[in-house]
Homo-oligomer: A and B are copies of this chain.
Amino acid sequence: MRPSGRTASQIRPVTITRQFTCHAEGSVLIEFGNTKVICNATVEEGVPRFMKGQGKGWITAEYSMLPRATHTRSAREAARGKQGGRTLEIQRLIARSLRAAVDLSILGENTITVDCDVIQADGGTRTASITGACVALVDALTHMRSKGIIKANPLKHMIAALSVGIYEGSAIADLEYVEDSAAETDMNVVMTETGQLIEVQGTAEGEPFSFDELNEMMTIAKAGLMELFEAQKLALS
């Protein structure tokens, strides 16, 4: 029995609100249960220096949590003067995942920056960020086509992300905070809508996990991710 009362493979209710703020080319509020993230996609001309002159675009991401998105207040990274290792790790993951969804050569020398700001956290903030960021990215690409900035759709496939884990010896999906903090293993899976893998990051928090448990987590992840793709489609329709 999970602390959340959910079945092993049951994910939380997912809500995706587009045009959540008014300025960004793509703006999404995504909710995985009590986890809430604002994903804003910004389109800007030009690319970072290391990409210049190749005729290709770039996608990057930044991630942050409001200081009181969590049970106790965390120090604001801007006040501490640097982004922590966890933040850098997550925003690198979001950006890599989004780049894997897009044909950068169709994007032209433009940059899309997706800001994922967690306003309330209850586990799975990085997977909610990726899943919501992909919807914001789609809106930004639509904006670019409508403005004539790009001629074709660079999107290769939707992507989504889900956390899975081993909790009391069984694989469970979409861990909330209380489950996450008690899980033996925590794994994040980023997948395309065609069932191909973009990222797999599994970490033994307590006991090591077996090769069989890895397979169980992968199976349960795939099922949950398919539900996330449905939620994305619904939001975009």
Contact = CB atoms under 8 A, between A and B. Distances in A.
A197 B81 CA distance: 34
A142 B88 CA distance: 35
A87 B88 CA distance: 10
Interface stretch (A68-76, A124-132, A226-234): A68-76
A167 B18 CA distance: 35
A211 interface: yes
Q: How many copies does the complex hold?
A: 6
Interface residues of A, number: 66
A214 interface: yes
B204 A197 contact: yes
A48 B124 CA distance: 27
Interface stretch (A4-12, A112-120, A147-155): A112-120
Interface string A59-101: 0001010111111110011110111111111011000100010
Given A89-B89, A196-B204, 10 more contacts: A21-B119, A23-B70, A62-B76, A81-B81, A84-B88, A85-B89, A196-B210, A197-B209, A199-B203, A211-B222
Interface of A: 21-24, 27, 34, 36, 38, 40, 42, 44, 62, 64, 66-73, 76-79, 81-89, 91-92, 96, 100, 113, 115, 117, 119-120, 187, 191-192, 195-204, 207-211, 213-215, 218, 222
